[in-house]
Amino acid sequence: MADSQFDIVIFGATSFVGEILTGYMHKTLADNGDVKWAIAGRSEAKLQEVKEKHGAQNVPHIIADANNEQQLRDMVNQARVIVSTVGPYALYGEPLVKVCVETGTDYCDLTGEVQWYKRMVDKYESQAKQSGARIVHCSGFDSLPSDLGVYFTQQQAQQAFGETCQQIDMRVARLKGGASGGTFASMINIAKEAAKDPALRKELQNPYSICPPDHGFKTRQHNVGGAEFDKNIDGWIGPFVMAAVNTRVVHRSNALQDNAYGQNFKYSEAMMMGKGKKGEKRAKSMGRMLKWFMILAAIAPTRWLLEKFIPQPGEGPTPKEQEEGMFDMRFFGQTVSGKRIVTKVVGDRDPGYGSTAKMLGQAALCLASIDKEAKVGGFWTPASIYQDGLIERLQKYSGLTFEVLEP
b/e string for 84-115 if b means 16 or more Cβ within 10 A?
bbbbbbbeebbbbbbbbbbbbbbbbbbbbbbb
Note the pLDDT of residue 1.
Answer: 44
Domain 6-140+354-398 is classified in which CATH homologous superfamily?
NAD(P)-binding Rossmann-like Domain (3.40.50.720)
Rounded to whole angstroms, the Cα distance separating 22 from 41 reads 12
Q: Where would I find the beta strands (DSSP E) of 159-200?
A: 165-176
Q: Specify the pLDDT at position 300.
A: 80
Structural domain boundaries in the chain: 6-140+354-398, 144-351
Q: How far apart are CA 348 and CA 328, in angstroms?
A: 9
Side-chain-facing half-sphere of 301: CA atoms under 13 Å: 0
Q: Is the dihedral of CA 57, 63, 67, 71 positive or negative?
A: negative
Cis omega (within 30 of 0) for bond into 407: yes
Q: Is the dihedral of CA 76, 78, 79, 85 positive or negative?
A: negative
Other beta carbons less than 10 A from residue 406's beta carbon? 10
State the angle between helix axes of 69-76 and 94-103 in degrees (0 to 180), rounded to the nearest 10: 50
Give the chain's radius of gyration (CA, Å). Answer: 20
Return d(Cα 334, Cα 375) in angstroms, integer: 30
Of 241, 257, 259, 267, give the one whose Cα is nearest residue 150: 267
- Buried b vs exposed e over 191-208: b needs ≥16 C-beta within 10 Å? bbbbbeeeebeeebeebb
DSSP track, 342-359: EEEEEESS-IIIIIHHHH
Give pLDDT, residue 180: 66
- Strands (E) across 177-248 are located at 228-230, 235-238
252 Cβ contact list (under 8 Å, min separation 6): 210, 211, 212, 381, 384
User: Cα separation of 350 and 141, whole Å?
Assistant: 10
Give yes or no for a contact between 227 and 236, defined as CB atoms under 8 angstroms apart: yes
403: three-class secondary structure by DSSP: strand
The pTM of the full predicted model, rounded to 2 decimals, is 0.94
Q: With H, G, I as helix, E, B as strand and everything else as coil, classify residue 402.
A: strand
DSSP result, 107-165: EEE----HHHHHHHHHHHHHHHHHHT-EEE---BTTBHHHHHHHHHHHHHHHHHHSS-E
The residue among 364, 366, 357 whose CA lies nearest residue 398 is: 357
Is beta strand 37-41 parallel, antiparallel or unpaired with respect to 61-63? Answer: parallel
Question: Residue 61: enclosing H or E segment and its boundaries?
Answer: strand 61-63
Q: What is the β-pairing status of strands 326-335 and 165-176?
A: antiparallel
Each residue's pLDDT expressed in tens, for the chain with a length of 407 residues: 446 799 999 999 999 999 999 999 999 997 777 999 999 999 999 999 999 999 999 999 999 999 999 999 999 999 999 999 998 899 999 999 999 999 999 999 999 999 999 999 999 999 999 999 999 999 999 999 999 999 999 999 999 999 999 999 999 999 998 766 667 777 787 778 878 888 888 888 999 999 999 999 999 999 999 999 999 999 999 999 899 999 999 999 999 999 999 999 999 999 999 999 999 999 999 999 888 887 877 888 888 777 777 777 667 788 888 889 999 999 999 999 999 999 999 999 999 889 999 999 999 999 999 999 999 999 999 999 999 999 999 999 999 999 999 99
